[in-house]
Amino acid sequence: MTNEVPQGELTIGSVRIPGRVFLAPMAGVSDLPFRRLCREQGAALVCMEMISAKAITYHNERTRQLWLTLPEERPVSLQLFGSEPDIIARACRILEPEQFDLLDINMGCPVRKIVSNGEGSALMRDPGRIRELVAAAVENTSRPVTVKIRRGYSEDLLNAAACARAAEEGGASAVTVHGRTREQMYSGKADLGCIREVREAVDIVVIGNGDVTDGPSAVRMFTETGCDAVMVGRAARGNPWVFREINASLAGQPVPPRPTRAETAAMILAHARGEILYKGERTAIREMRTQTAWYIAGFPGASSLRSRAGSIASAEDLEQLVREIAGDS
């Protein structure tokens, strides 16, 4: 199958999205400060870290922080995980007054502690349960409901198309398909064939996910699968510029040059300042150790800089490291 690369805005249910390249929900990564940076760099839709539906029904204050949003990052998707229709329904009702645009249900997370509770990709073993969960959400929210699935649970159960049909039957407006099984986790290559099968099996919006790392890989995802949008995950870590690069490629425009050391340093600082405002200095600086290591991957002397990043203890430490990254000292 060869398809044209779609251009312009996309509508999911009642929500208009101003482009075709989305930021994936990633635990410990796609928080509010990072989502803002990705939106500024051209992500048409940004997605929150996944949130436990059960924790929402317990009115957990730490959980509440996860769904804070700002007007400038919208449209934004909130992703729930859970396996009980009544809990999903209650969580949707609690969330109804909050400020977000799409409600996604995670049915693809491969992490053991999620799967062992019958959540995440474990749901792909039971398409009937997928239908029930989506219907419970649709009946209890005013927002379009979407789902995120994988190629299958295992090589013995490659049922992405059946799961997507079940989601559509439950009332879902879109489905994101990651081209790996649960067993693969993030190893090997994503299979684009399963995304094409889903595109042929349903009439709702299909979003391709897996190994979209730059313009050429995004073009390949579109042309080989016929998907309506692409979702970028790990390639965005430490690299919010990936969205402007992909958008340029899709539009047939020259790809902007990679950021200079000074531009990278400025982005790290902007990211850190956002995290400090959002979480406080102690937590923000601890998390920026990993974030900074992602930003400087591939730099000359990156090993030494990574070691330094791993030991920063204050905003002052980070600012000094950022000056070194920029080449000012």
pLDDT over 90 at 293, yes or no:
yes
Annotated catalytic, 109?
A: yes
Same-domain status, 49 and 174: yes
In total, how many domains does the chain have?
2
In a domain, 2, yes or no: no
- pLDDT of 199 reads 97
Same-domain status, 219 and 273: no
Determine the average pLDDT of the residues in 198-219: 97
In a domain, 153, yes or no: yes
Q: 262: which residues sit within 8 A by CB, 6+ positions away?
A: 326, 327
For residue 96, give its domain range.
10-250
- pLDDT of 329 reads 43
Same-domain status, 311 and 203: no
Return the CATH number at 268: 1.10.1200
Same-domain status, 214 and 297: no
Same-domain status, 72 and 187: yes
Residue finishing a domain among 230, 250, 270: 250
Same-domain status, 230 and 269: no
In a domain, 29, yes or no: yes
- Give 91-133 pLDDT, tens digit per residue: 999 999 999 999 999 999 999 999 999 999 999 999 999 999 9
Same-domain status, 163 and 85: yes
Determine the average pLDDT of the residues in 182-210: 95
- The share of the chain scoring above pLDDT 70, in percent, equals 99
Determine the average pLDDT of the residues in 16-38: 96
Same-domain status, 59 and 173: yes
The whole-chain average pLDDT of the chain stands at 94
Residue finishing a domain among 216, 250, 284: 250
- Spot the catalytic one: 109, 163, 194, 227: 109
pLDDT band at 64 (very low <50, low <70, confident <90, very high): confident
pLDDT over 60 at 328, yes or no:
no
Q: 316: which residues sit within 8 A by CB, 6+ positions away?
A: none
pTM for this one? 0.94
pLDDT over 90 at 4, yes or no:
no
Task: Between 47 and 64, name the one with better pLDDT.
Answer: 47
Determine the average pLDDT of the residues in 12-33: 96
In a domain, 255, yes or no: no
Return the CATH number at 226: 3.20.20.70
